[in-house]
Amino acid sequence: MLAKRLALSANVTHNDGMEATVLEAQKLRPELIQRIEAMDDESLLLLHHLLLHVEKERLWHELATEAEADRRSGKLDRLPDIIREARLELRKG
């Protein structure tokens, strides 16, 4: 769940081929909270910006994946007609 929320892999592979497992969320959370509380304002703002960027990337990937699935299943085939009909209704109303 944490890996999905942060769009990060649970494992990190280093250049030499060794794999380092990221700490479990239960152990990592208190450490992160402590580090965040100790941050100066500038670092906190930078971290906030970074988290927003990571979340945006995760959501963009999720949306693109779902849109592609909808396209393949034919759900978007009528979209131009639906938009045209909606615009006509708005002009009438």
Per-residue pLDDT of the chain (93 residues; tens, 9 = 90+): 444 444 444 555 545 554 555 668 888 899 999 999 999 999 999 999 999 999 999 999 999 999 999 999 998 999 999 999 999 999 997
Amino acid at 5: R
CB 54 within 8 A of CB 5: no
Alpha-carbon gap, residue 50 to 17, rounded angstroms? 27
pTM > 0.85: no
Q: What is the bridge-based pairing of β-strands 11-13 and 19-21? A: antiparallel
Q: What tokens appear for 17 in the block?
A: 């081929």
